[in-house]
Structure 1
Amino acid sequence: MTTTGRARPTTAPRRGPAGPTASAAPALEVTDLTVRYGAVTALDGVTFALAPGRVTGLVGMNGSGKSTLFKSVMGLVRPTAGQVRVLGQSTELARRRGVVGYVPQQEDVDWSFPLSVRDVVMMGRYGRLGLTRRPRRADHDAVDAALERVELGHLDDRQIGALSGGQRKRAFVARGLAQGAQVLLLDEPFAGVDKRTEATITTLLRELAGDGRTMLVSTHDLASLDVLCDDALLIQRRILLHAPPAEVLRPENLARAFGVDVSDARPATVSAPSGASPAEVAR
């Protein structure tokens, strides 16, 4: 899985048109989801469905509701209206069974906490440890396999904060794999990593999709959207478009989401215009 330089990774075969197919029930189904924080509407009637074995990009400016959507899928936010189903289950049941996992942004984690890489990945087994909370052989084997899958087995004893940005991301992917998650949410996995690490993570996510896992990836790296994703969701509190990357990247569609005149359909990054917005609280 090792890549060099700025080469584009070899990706797994694409899975056909966007959205679930007739032969596959949705891995993630969101229906009329509305979330309000006081007077601020973070999500307004969000509806989409993702089939198994796909990588879907989540594209929108800061304050568009991306993080609120992730929290809703994880069952951490109670919706004002609508529902979320993960593999046909409620969010609470999906989280308890470990079928949905989350890879956070860098700034959401206290990297000074004295945990090793193995400790972090073992957290994915917590729901399976039983009353004693003591890892068994099967738990250690699952952690070993996950670490090898993300190429961090040789760093398992290292303190998590001592890893590079890309290695930290892979450690949290490994936590989801050890957990047995079939649906993974990744919040800005390419923020703060170099191009080589980006290619490594992209190749890993494509391989996981080939295994049948479903990934929803929040990203501002629009230049690599077509390499990583089968399809993308364009969000501005509601879903403006669910389509292949090439369609989402059309200038007129990006302009709808970002509220600016986008003349280049393939910018490296797009960020929110300066100035505070009431929607920032809903990010």
Structure 2
Amino acid sequence: MTSRGPGAATAAPLELDGLTVRYGAVTALDGVSLRLAAGTVTGLVGMNGSGKSTLFRSVMGLVRPDAGSVRLWGADPEAERRRGTVAYTPQAEEVDWSFPVCVRDVVRMGRYGRLGPARRPRREDERLVAEAIEKVGMSELADRRIGALSGGQRKRVFVARGLAQEADLLLLDEPLAGVDRTTEETLTALLRGLAAEGRTVLVSTHDLQNLEALCDDAVLLHRRVILHAAPAEVLRPENLARAFGGANGTGNGADTGDGARTREVPG
């Protein structure tokens, strides 16, 4: 765990206040306010185009909000990102799998921000890389090119990169999508263990059957926060219907607020 000033002890690892993001005329996030408690796994649930990936990218500074704010432990998010206290695992579609690097190389990238001026890994860095690879069950494939891995194996590698970074806040965009049962169980147990250590995890998922096993709480998102509650409450059919079908013009595109649908915006 990273040491911080005395004020950070009571501050939320992640706090969004009125976060609004637009892509041209399309509103991807509309006044999203959210506060995560330390040492928890929070599920982010919503249909494609509901704003999940946009939320992650906003936290990481990859998307500039049109309104609202992002705070990490009550501090400027840019400063925390530079310190390496937050790690982001994007969806597989955002990664160039033809890039000629092996598993160990990718996981080692998680240590880059903590290396000295020469950017040469030390013994401690290599130890943490090896431990992260072992935790996700990829030690036997540590020297394999990432392009030769299965979908589930690729997910494990990028989770391992976040572990090697020693980040206190992990943002995972669909890490369980398309994985086999073994990988799902491995990653679920790993994320629960990280929360028990005091780390905070925000994970987007379409796997509603595993939501209660994976998460302490869940956020139902459709451009706005519809509900932030225990997984069992979020999974009530009447609540899911507010985000996944029929209600307020929801469907395959973003709701413009007047019942009309526009093109789908990034997750």
TM-score, structure 1 as length reference: 0.83
Instruction: Pick from 139, 142, 163 the counterpart of residue 156 of structure 1.
Output: 142
CA distance in 2 between counterparts of 1:275 and 1:48 reads: 23
CA distance in 1 between counterparts of 2:34 and 2:131 reads: 33
For 1:120-135, list aligned pairs within 5 A: 120-135=106-121
Which residue type is aligned with residue 175 of structure 2?
A: P
Question: Hey, what does 1:199 align to over in structure 2?
Answer: 185
Question: Hey, what does 2:77 align to over in structure 1?
Answer: 91
What is the RMSD of the two structures over their aligned residues, measured on CA atoms? Answer: 1.8
CA distance in 2 between counterparts of 1:175 and 1:89 reads: 24
The Cα shift of 1:133 comes to 2.0
Instruction: Pick from 161, 165, 168 the counterpart of residue 182 of structure 1.
Output: 168
Which residue type is aligned with residue 265 of structure 2?
A: V
CA distance in 2 between counterparts of 1:278 and 1:132 reads: 49
Question: Hey, what does 1:265 align to over in structure 2?
Answer: none
CA distance in 2 between counterparts of 1:275 and 1:121 reads: 35
For 1:1-283, list aligned pairs within 5 A: 24-260=10-246, 273=251, 277-278=261-262, 280-283=264-267
- SS of the residue corresponding to residue 111 of structure 1 reads coil
Question: Hey, what does 1:269 align to over in structure 2?
Answer: none
- SS of the residue corresponding to residue 121 of structure 1 reads helix
Question: Hey, what does 1:11 align to over in structure 2?
Answer: none
Which is worse superposed, 24-33 or 117-126?
24-33
Measured against aligned partners, the alpha-carbon deviations of 1:21-65 in whole angstroms (never above 9, x if no partner) come to xx9531111111111122111111100101111111101111111
- Deviating above 4 A after TM superposition, structure 1's stretches of 4 or more consecutive aligned residues are 272-277
The Cα shift of 1:274 comes to 5.2
The Cα shift of 1:96 comes to 0.8
Measured against aligned partners, the alpha-carbon deviations of 1:224-256 in whole angstroms (never above 9, x if no partner) come to 111101110011111010000110011111111
Residues 136 and 186 in structure 2, CA contact (< 8 A), matched pair in contact too: no
Gaps of at least 5 residues in structure 1 are 1-22, 262-271
Q: How many residues align?
A: 251
Which residue type is aligned with residue 119 of structure 2?
A: R
